[in-house]
């Protein structure tokens, strides 16, 4: 019987794991199935661009997985049973349950696995703030970004947009909207000071860019309520908003928390250096859905910059354990944080291996070009998760016999 590997989620992390594993292992020995709600690979790092009205390249997952032997199931994961080793699926919405390189046309709503890779990513975190669900938009997913795009299109000149959240996503969203819609009044509400985790050079560049784009920055503004036409801060201030964009961090899907997997306080699956669950050896987790230690023991940041290397680490570890090979030992480390500021500007904050800002932070048009290359590179790496040819290795008899690793 073949070893059944099921990958949940085909974002940056999940699609990379599936493609890399399918290229490493012999098709006679393994079945690799990827489950995703959408038939396309979504470049989530560009959702603020979608909200600002830009069209992205269409990237069908069936093309990305073509020739690998991996099967794509377009469905929504509703539950995981780590005791029975099954995954429950529901229709993703719309026609067609199965797509892809070797599309499966059955209607079964349960998948059994021998090895599970959990890569369901994240969504916008409301942090329990009243009014977010009813009144705020977000750029954390494609449906959310498309809704925001449509709402922004309805705004007439002078319309007020407030982006809440001073992290990378909030900064990118505010500058993208302000650049695309110079007729709107765009504001950014940040809890501390603008870019306070960045170097002095980067902070200076951010302030200059926001001045140029006409973005008003509300600092020390802890938003406690979102209304239909305003946001209210803890300090008692009211900031008028025809549209509120909530970009105050990411939250993970509750599916993992509902299992006996060991999860963090935020619900991320706790994994070791090989991206294997510390509680269940037949489960791996990667990307935003996983909590892994980076260099110096600091947790890896929810980011594409972490998700793709985590995916390589997981795929190579699974392949090594199944084939009796050597476990990978590449340390996961950071190099930079690339922050787009519209299409013409960006700032590249150089960082230490554990993601602390170094003094250097080049910005401007060249930096914007570099950031664009990084985004293109990320999508390229998803489609080419193993850029060199390898021999597909056979699964060892022991791994076959035990099914679990
Ligand atoms: C606007 C924006 C800008 C960003 N910019 C950057 C940046 O510049 N650099 C950077 O490093 N990071 C950036 N990020 C963060 C980055 O996008 C995420 O960290 C990254 O996408 C995480 O990858 P992932 O594979 O874990 O999750 P995702 O990319 O979110 O993929 C998860 C996949 O799982 C699928 N899925 C979810 N739930 C289910 C379900 N129940 N059933 C089936 N499938 C499901 C989704 O459809 C999706 O395909 C940005 C994020 C946003 C929103």
CATH of the domain at 222: 3.50.50.60
For ligand 1, say whether the CB of 169 is within 6 Å of any of its atoms: yes
292 CB burial (10 A radius; 0-12, 13-18, 19+): buried
- Is residue 240 in a domain? yes
Question: Ligand 1 centroid to 79 CA: how many Å?
Answer: 19
For ligand 1, say whether the CB of 2 is within 6 Å of any of its atoms: no
Q: Are residues 212 and 268 in the same domain?
A: no
| Half-sphere CA count of 335, side-chain side, radius 13 A | 6
In sign, the C-alpha dihedral spanning 248, 294, 332, 69 is: negative
> Per the structure, how many domains does the chain have?
2
For ligand 1, say whether the CB of 363 is within 6 Å of any of its atoms: no
- Is residue 137 in a domain? yes
Contacts of 228 (CB under 8 A, 6+ apart): 134, 135
Separation between Cα atoms, residue 371 and residue 348, nearest integer Å: 8
For ligand 1, say whether the CB of 12 is within 6 Å of any of its atoms: yes
Residue 112: which domain range? 3-121+253-333+376-402
Separation between Cα atoms, residue 280 and residue 273, nearest integer Å: 14
Q: Which atom of ligand 1 lies at the shortest distance from residue 13's CA? A: 25
Question: Ligand 1 centroid to 77 CA: how many Å?
Answer: 16
Q: What is the CA radius of gyration of the chain?
A: 22
Q: Are residues 299 and 394 in the same domain?
A: yes
For ligand 1, say whether the CB of 76 is within 6 Å of any of its atoms: yes
Separation between Cα atoms, residue 294 and residue 310, nearest integer Å: 10
Q: Are residues 199 and 236 in the same domain?
A: yes
Q: Give yes or no for a contact between 227 and 148, defined as CB atoms under 8 angstroms apart.
A: no
Give the residues across from 245 on adjacent strands.
Answer: 137, 163
Q: Are residues 53 and 102 in the same domain?
A: yes
Name the closest-CA residue to atom 29, ligand 1: 11
Give the residues across from 110 on adjacent strands.
Answer: 88
- Is residue 368 in a domain? no
| Half-sphere CA count of 115, side-chain side, radius 13 A | 28
Q: Give yes or no for a contact between 87 and 117, defined as CB atoms under 8 angstroms apart.
A: no
- Is residue 356 in a domain? no
Structure tokens at 383: 């489609």
Q: Are residues 137 and 111 in the same domain?
A: no
Q: Are residues 114 and 10 in the same domain?
A: yes
Walk along the chain (405 residues) and give the pLDDT tens digit of each residue.
899 999 999 999 999 999 999 999 999 999 999 999 999 999 999 999 999 999 999 999 999 999 899 999 999 999 999 999 999 999 986 433 333 344 344 455 999 999 999 999 999 999 999 999 999 999 999 999 999 999 999 999 999 999 999 999 999 999 999 999 999 999 999 999 999 999 999 999 999 999 999 999 999 999 999 999 999 999 899 999 999 999 999 999 999 999 999 999 999 999 999 999 999 999 999 999 999 998 888 999 999 999 999 999 999 999 999 999 999 987 889 999 999 999 999 999 999 999 999 999 999 999 999 999 999 999 999 999 887 878 889 998 777 666 545
Domain boundary among 223, 246, 269: 246
Q: Are residues 140 and 183 in the same domain?
A: yes
Q: What is the CATH number of the domain that holds 41?
A: 3.50.50.100
Q: Are residues 394 and 275 in the same domain?
A: yes
Q: Which atom of ligand 1 lies at the shortest distance from residue 35's CA? A: 43
For ligand 1, say whether the CB of 170 is within 6 Å of any of its atoms: no
Q: Are residues 290 and 320 in the same domain?
A: yes
Q: Which residue has the tokens 């993601």?
A: 355
- Is residue 291 in a domain? yes
Separation between Cα atoms, residue 318 and residue 37, nearest integer Å: 24
Q: Are residues 157 and 229 in the same domain?
A: yes
pLDDT, residue 1, reads 87
- Is residue 343 in a domain? no
- Is residue 355 in a domain? no
Domain boundary among 191, 213, 246: 246
Domain boundary among 246, 275, 301: 246
Give the dihedral of Cα atoms 272, 276, 279, 285; nearest 10 deg.
Answer: 110
Q: Are residues 287 and 381 in the same domain?
A: yes
405 CB burial (10 A radius; 0-12, 13-18, 19+): middle
Q: Which atom of ligand 1 lies at the shortest distance from residue 12's CA? A: 25
Query: What is the DSSP code (8-state) at residue 28?
Result: T
- Is residue 364 in a domain? no
Q: Are residues 260 and 318 in the same domain?
A: yes
């Amino acid at each position: 019987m073949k070893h059944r590997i099921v990958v949940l989620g085909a974002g940056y992390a999940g699609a990379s794991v599936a493609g890399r594993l399918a290229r490493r292992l012999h098709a006679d020995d393994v079945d690799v199935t990827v489950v995703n709600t959408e038939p396309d690979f979504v470049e989530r790092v560009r959702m603020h661009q979608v909200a600002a009205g830009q069209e992205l390249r269409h990237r069908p997952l069936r093309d990305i997985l073509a020739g690998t032997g991996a099967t794509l199931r377009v469905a929504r994961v509703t539950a995981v049973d780590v005791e029975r080793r099954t995954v429950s699926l529901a229709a993703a919405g719309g026609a067609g349950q199965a797509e892809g390189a070797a599309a499966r046309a059955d209607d079964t709503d349960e998948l059994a696995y021998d090895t599970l890779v959990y890569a369901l990513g994240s969504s916008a975190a409301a942090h329990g703030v009243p009014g977010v669900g009813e009144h705020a938009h977000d750029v954390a997913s494609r449906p959310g970004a498309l809704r925001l795009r449509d709402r922004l299109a309805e705004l007439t000149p002078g319309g007020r947009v407030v982006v809440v959240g001073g992290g990378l996503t909030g900064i990118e969203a505010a500058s993208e909207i302000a650049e695309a819609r110079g007729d709107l009044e765009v504001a950014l509400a940040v809890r501390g000071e603008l870019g306070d985790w960045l170097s002095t050079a980067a902070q200076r560049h951010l302030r200059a860019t926001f001045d140029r784009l006409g973005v008003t920055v509300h600092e020390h503004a802890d938003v406690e309520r979102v209304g239909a036409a305003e946001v209210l801060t803890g300090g008692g201030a009211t900031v008028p908003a025809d549209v509120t964009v909530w970009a105050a961090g990411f939250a993970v899907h509750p599916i993992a928390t509902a299992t006996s997997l060991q999860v963090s306080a935020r619900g991320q699956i706790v994994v070791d250096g090989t991206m294997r669950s510390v509680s269940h050896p037949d489960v791996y987790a990667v990307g935003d859905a996983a909590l892994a230690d980076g260099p110096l023991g600091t947790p890896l940041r929810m980011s594409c910059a972490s998700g793709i290397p985590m995916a390589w680490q997981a795929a190579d570890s699974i392949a090594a354990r199944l084939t009796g090979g050597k476990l990978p030992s590449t340390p996961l480390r950071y190099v930079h944080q690339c922050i787009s500021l519209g299409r013409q500007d960006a700032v590249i904050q150089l960082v230490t291996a554990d993601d602390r800002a170094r003094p250097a932070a080049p910005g401007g048009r060249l930096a914007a070009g570099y950031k664009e290359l990084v985004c293109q590179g990320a999508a390229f790496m998803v489609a080419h998760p193993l850029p060199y040819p390898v021999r597909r290795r056979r699964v060892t008899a022991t791994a076959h016999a035990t099914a679990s690793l």
